[in-house]
Structure 1
Amino acid sequence: METTSRPGAQGAPDEPSTSTDVEAGRAAQDVPEGRGLDGYLLAGFPWYGLDEAFTGPRWLMQVGSAADGTVEHGSTGHGEVPSVRVETEHAKQRFAVVVTVADRPVRRSADGTGTLEATSVSSAAWLAGSGLLSCTWPSQMERALRDDWLNQQTAIAWELAEDPSAPDWTSLSLPVDGVPTPFHYRESEYGWVLAGSSPAQEGVHIGAYGRGMSAYGLGFSVIKDIAGYTG
């Protein structure tokens, strides 16, 4: 799924786009403030976020779109906006990001020169895993070394996402629109990642990542008014 990204709320970490090439899927770089809410409103699928049990801050991140402008995926943030500053202690950060991915079949690219891979739970797992890395700065690591670390860890995240049923993942059941739903789940010293599919909304995959908030107590639901995430 080749996509380009549109930024969301200022200060929110960028979300990587997915691609058949690992290099194209590296953690997102800084991009100028842009369409924000408009990108979410253009989507032809429902957005997911944490359910009403979560009462903390909510904020937009960014959407990813295909070359023809079709919105393919995007993320919504909950809790504190994560920081990658070296002095930030990860243990003090409390956030959860929910990734919504449209289910797409194998299809021709917009320019007709190739094909785009089908999206799946693996796509959601990849976006969630690389998203967590993009807002992570390993302790005791010099600034000059972080890019090398990020490249290495992003490649590993890509490989892990290809098979969510592998031993690196465990099973976790969480409510989605009130329905108990199976997710693939894994933890690391930097946070947690999970991925699954919506039982109520056909054609939508859900990923999530976070730190400082336990994934075991979360629930997901369709966002009725995405404008509520603009503060």
Structure 2
Amino acid sequence: METTSRVGAQAPAAEGGQRAPSARRTVDGYLLAPFPWYGLDDAFTGPRWLTPVGTGADGTVEHGSIGHGDEPSLRGESTADAERFAVVVTVAANPVRRSPDGTGVLEATTVSSAAWLAGVGLLSRTWPGQIDHSLRDDWLEQQTETAWELADDLDGAAWSTLSLPVDGEPTPFHYRESEFGWVLAGSTREGVHLGAYGRGMSAYGLGFAMIRDIGAYA
């Protein structure tokens, strides 16, 4: 997907319990979206956090991710294996998207788009400690290409089917595991595609629900 980060990452709370300005800008990006956002349902009672939204060439918000549990530390840190988190990616279902130069259209967003974003998201939270710094770019490029190939073949052997509740309704998802964690992707009745990735939290017990007030994340 040809998208870019629109706003900065979420910042820690400022003195007096107020969020720093960058956190407010992060929420503002979500408020601009013309589609609903999804996260884990009320069965999850732990911390939640936002990542930057992604936008199309015309600045329209196309996707964003809401984290649950431990906010992952930098890749490759020794504490990474102990982290427990699940990140839910919401992707607008757009049949037509303009190219960056405005002269054509891009491929429509699909369940594969959500699967790819989730796969790349998991990679961004992972870094094999045994890989030398000089090889990191090559490793990331290779793994990103693999994530795209897998997302483009959701009926392939790498994926299984998992049914999870979305707004209380059983919904089929494509699901796969790797040494870095798990990835899943599906669609909702509200016209958006969902991707998710995580580590340390089982995907089998998750449920998803529409977020009624994304502004509360400020």
Q: Tell me what 2:11 maps to.
A: 10
- The one-letter amino acid paired with 1:123 is S
104-113 or 125-134, which deviates more: 104-113
Q: Which runs of 5+ in 2 are unaligned?
A: 13-21
- The one-letter amino acid paired with 1:214 is S
Q: Tell me what 2:126 maps to.
A: 136
- Aligned mates of 1:80, 1:107 — CA distance in 2: 34
Q: How does 1:1-231 map to 2 (within 5 A)?
A: 1-6=1-6, 7-10=8-11, 33=22, 35-109=25-99, 111-198=101-188, 200-201=189-190, 203-230=191-218
> Matched residues, percent identical?
71
- Per-residue CA deviations over 1:113-148 (Å, capped at 9, x if unaligned) read 121110000000000000000110113222222221
Q: How far is the alpha carbon of 1:85 from its aligned partner?
A: 4.0
Quickly say closer, same or farther: Cα 1:44–1:145, change in 2 above 3 A.
same
Quickly say closer, same or farther: Cα 1:214–1:66, change in 2 above 3 A.
same
* Equivalent position SS for 1:145: helix
- Per-residue CA deviations over 1:184-229 (Å, capped at 9, x if unaligned) read 000011100000001x31x200000000000001000001111233
- Aligned mates of 2:100, 2:138 — CA distance in 1: 33
- Aligned mates of 1:86, 1:169 — CA distance in 2: 27
- The one-letter amino acid paired with 1:184 is H
Q: What is the TM-score normalised by the length of structure 1?
A: 0.85
Q: Is the contact made by 2:58 and 2:98 (CA closer than 8 Å) also made in structure 1? A: no
102-111 or 131-140, which deviates more: 102-111
Q: Is the contact made by 1:8 and 1:63 (CA closer than 8 Å) also made in structure 2? A: no
- The one-letter amino acid paired with 2:82 is K
Q: Which runs of 5+ in 1 are unaligned?
A: 12-32
Quickly say closer, same or farther: Cα 1:173–1:114, change in 2 above 3 A.
same
* Equivalent position SS for 1:59: strand
- Aligned mates of 2:58, 2:90 — CA distance in 1: 19
* Equivalent position SS for 1:67: coil
75-84 or 123-132, which deviates more: 75-84
Q: Quote the RMSD (CA, aligned, Å).
A: 1.6
* Equivalent position SS for 2:57: coil
Q: What is the TM-score normalised by the length of structure 2?
A: 0.90
